[in-house]
């Protein structure tokens, strides 16, 4: 308690601020886009606002070395025996050409894991599958999207095949997924020849043919190229600010978002599904890592045990048990864990806990993350 107020706040978040500062230093050029976490009363962080240009702020030095986040969990996967799915017969695509991506998606969304890893692993993978599927379906027919009728049939077939390979049947709910995710309906450009007329495709392919997982989050190359192409085609190829659909308006944002789907579909058509999938997963990984997905509800047990005149053992017991139950909510990445620790630290500080209890109780990143 006698800690000077000048020395790194009250010390509680000091530990983590240092980490975060180190982390930010790796990304100085994007510092201006850094958003501060402001825990609200309920201590619930919503998704980051989706802007046209997602802020990207991750240093290679803290990226997990394992670029495949599924690896550490694989022993938990049951060895599932697949069965033959019943298909609609109305989705005209050769699914055996897509077996790599279907298998990967089914395993990333397997029954026991999907709810835990939805935002981090399952949904990004499903989203990537949608893009790759659109390209596989449309390629050869000069189109980058499905029409609504095909989308309905194919969506149903995709879900049946995934389920037959052991995936959770709740994917549509878990990932807010609908057949319309295959149509990108509000984007005005849907066919390959218009796309290639409007977009500098060599520039796009240069930027996205090999996405470096360590660099892309910090010094994005592919993401801005996708956004640029999406904004361009969303205005029908007109100049960015000369169109009736103003990027930034609600309608404009939906259109650009659908057009991003079209750009992804184009990339999927030009790249192998492995390469496209890796690229998309890296891009969504950069986004996912910016927030803490844990809900820190009612920390009063910790505040009480760790407030004034508290004893160290009871404080640490309360803290450890609180964090342990939060940690089980959901799978978080190392980078999210930093955000979680920072956020929870400042929350406790606001509630009057003045000690550096992370240091006191030997709490570190591992305690916030199942992954490390
Ligand atoms: C699961 O895998 C283990 C070893 O890999 C094997 O012994 C067992 O038979 C498998 N079970 C099923 C249901 O396939
Ligand atoms: C689907 O593609 C596989 C190879 O990727 C091929 O062996 C098979 O004959 C194709 N099926 C149809 C119906 O075209
Ligand atoms: C599907 O589209 C909805 C908007 O219609 C979007 O919110 C959702 O994230 C998309 N799902 C995936 C997995 O891309
Ligand atoms: C190709 O496009 C035409 C016209 O949009 C459509 O009628 C046809 O079903 C499409 N074929 C495939 C395989 O999607
Ligand atoms: C496309 O982009 C490249 C840079 O990647 C540039 O050299 C080229 O001139 C551009 N082509 C057109 C038609 O703008």
Q: How far apart are CA 156 and CA 298, in angstroms?
A: 41
Q: Is a pLDDT exceeding 90 seen at residue 135?
A: yes
Tokens of 3: 């800690």
Q: How far apart are CA 113 and CA 127, in angstroms?
A: 17
Segments of 267-355 assigned E as strands: none
Q: How far apart are CA 103 and CA 6, in angstroms?
A: 55
The whole-number pLDDT of residue 280 equals 94
Chain centroid, CA 69 distance in Å: 12
Mutate to test the pocket of ligand 4, among 92, 143, 148, 149 (most ligand atoms within 8 A of CB): 143
Ligand 2 nearest-atom number relative to CA 97: 5
Q: Is a pLDDT exceeding 90 seen at residue 312?
A: no
Segments of the chain assigned E as strands: none
235 CA distance to ligand 4 middle (Å)? 25
Which residue's CA is the closest to the ligand 5 atom numbered 7?
203
First to last CA, the chain: 32
Which residue's CA is the closest to the ligand 4 atom numbered 6?
141
The whole-number pLDDT of residue 130 equals 97
The whole-number pLDDT of residue 372 equals 36
The whole-number pLDDT of residue 51 equals 31
Ligand 5 nearest-atom number relative to CA 207: 5
Task: Please tell me the number of the ligand nearest to residue 81's CA.
Answer: 1
The whole-number pLDDT of residue 238 equals 56
pLDDT band with cut points at 50, 70 and 90 for residue 365: confident
For residues 94-121, one letter each, b for 16 or more C-beta atoms within 10 angstroms of the residue's C-beta and e for the rest, the string is ebeebeebbbbbbbbbbbebbebbbbbb
Q: Among 94-98, 160-164, 297-301, name the one with the lowest average pLDDT.
A: 297-301
Which residue's CA is the closest to the ligand 2 atom numbered 1?
94
Give the residue-averaged pLDDT of 38-43: 33
Ligand 5 nearest-atom number relative to CA 206: 5
Residue pair 58/286 in contact (Cβ under 8 Å)? The answer is yes
Mutate to test the pocket of ligand 1, among 75, 76, 79 (most ligand atoms within 8 A of CB): 79
pTM of the model: 0.67
């Amino acid at each position: 308690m006698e800690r000077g107020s000048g020395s790194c706040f009250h010390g509680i978040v000091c530990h983590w601020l240092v980490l975060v500062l180190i982390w930010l230093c790796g990304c100085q050029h994007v510092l201006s886009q850094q958003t501060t976490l402001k825990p609200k009363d309920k201590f619930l962080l919503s998704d980051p606002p989706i802007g046209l240009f997602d802020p990207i702020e991750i240093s290679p030095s803290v990226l997990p070395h394992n670029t495949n986040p599924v690896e550490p969990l694989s022993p938990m996967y049951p060895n599932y025996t697949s069965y033959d799915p019943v298909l609609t017969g109305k989705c005209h695509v050769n699914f055996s050409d897509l077996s790599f991506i279907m298998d990967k998606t089914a395993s990333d969304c397997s029954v026991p894991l999907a709810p835990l890893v939805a935002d981090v692993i399952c949904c990004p993978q499903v989203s990537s599958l949608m893009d790759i599927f659109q390209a596989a379906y449309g390629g050869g027919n000069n189109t980058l999207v499905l029409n609504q009728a095909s989308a309905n049939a194919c969506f149903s077939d995709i879900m049946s095949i995934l389920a037959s390979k052991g995936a959770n049947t709740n994917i549509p709910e878990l990932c807010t997924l609908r057949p319309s995710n295959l149509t990108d309906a509000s984007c005005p450009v849907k066919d390959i020849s218009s796309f290639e007329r409007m977009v500098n495709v060599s520039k796009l392919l240069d930027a996205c043919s090999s996405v470096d997982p360590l660099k892309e989050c910090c010094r994005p190359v592919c993401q801005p190229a996708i956004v640029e192409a999406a904004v361009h085609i969303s205005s029908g190829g007109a100049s960015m600010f000369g169109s009736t659909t103003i990027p930034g308006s609600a309608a404009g944002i939906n259109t650009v978002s659908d057009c991003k789907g079209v750009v992804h579909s184009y990339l999927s058509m030009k790249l192998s599904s492995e390469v496209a999938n890796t690229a998309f997963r890296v891009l969504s990984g950069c986004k996912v890592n910016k927030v803490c997905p844990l809900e820190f509800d009612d920390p009063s047990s910790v505040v009480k045990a760790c407030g004034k005149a508290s004893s160290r053992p009871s404080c640490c017991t309360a803290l450890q048990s609180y964090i342990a139950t939060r940690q089980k909510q959901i799978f978080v990445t190392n980078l999210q864990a930093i955000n979680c620790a920072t956020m929870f630290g400042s929350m406790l500080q606001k509630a009057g806990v003045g000690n550096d209890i992370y240091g006191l109780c030997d709490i570190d990143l591992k305690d916030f993350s199942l992954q490390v």
